[in-house]
Amino acid sequence: TQLLEQSPQFLSIQEGENLTVYCNSSSVFSSLQWYRQEPGEGPVLLVTVVTGGEVKKLKRLTFQFGDARKDSSLHITAAQPGDTGLYLCAGFMNYGGSQGNLIFGKGTKLSVKP
Amino acid sequence: DTGVSQDPRHKITKRGQNVTFRCDPISEHNRLYWYRQTLGQGPEFLTYFQNEAQLEKSRLLSDRFSAERPKGSFSTLEIQRTEQGDSAMYLCASSTPLAGGRETQYFGPGTRLLVL
């Protein structure tokens, strides 16, 4: 079973459209992170959300952490072809105070057509 | 370039051969992680080191896999008697531990392994 479920798995949209990607779990995470990965490269961290209900903005990207710290969303406004890539959510779980492993979802493959 | 580097970037081998990958972390980072990523999946944790100590190993790390970080700097991941199911991208990441889930792991470009 996948601890972090991402949806949709694939998304193909036109330049200028808005989109939202979801990351859901039945478990509580001490933090959730969003990464972007280009083909043949390693993931690059976009943002870390730590507090339940937290909202962070990075230019046209808005990230939200659920109140119960079990889910997160990534919203992109006016998508551009340069936003194309694999978006991964990842989380740290609390293990009695120690941080534990970083657990990844399967990712959402976004394609933005000009 | 002061990022995480991995060598080689690509490796093609025949089933049954041994392979070794190298990771050079960001110099001031004392944590080093290995992940495996197969097509259509997110990275899966394999193992991590704090300095030279290997602190945790995933069940994915069978006895054919061994990782070392002898001087707390670079690390190697060896796969013995490779199988076709070992074909994947092997990613290395490094970090400095921070409390409260704020740790940032910096990933290398990965080594793509193909076992024929």
Q: Tell me whether residue B102 is exposed, middle or buried, using C-beta atoms within 10 angstroms of its C-beta: 0 to 12, 13 to 18, 19 or more.
A: middle
Confidence of residue B16 (pLDDT cuts 50, 70, 90): very high
pLDDT of B19 reads: 98
Chain segment A66-107, per-residue pLDDT in tens: 999 999 999 999 999 999 999 999 988 654 444 557 889 999
| Token pair 């998508």 in the structure block, residue | A79
**Cβ–Cβ below 8 Å for A42 and B4:** yes
**Cβ–Cβ below 8 Å for A104 and B42:** yes
How many contacts does A have with B, using Cβ atoms within 8 A?
62
Between CA B62 and CA B82 the distance in angstroms is: 11
Q: State the DSSP H helix or E strand holding residue A55, giving kind and residue range, or none if neither.
A: strand A55-58
pLDDT of A97 reads: 43
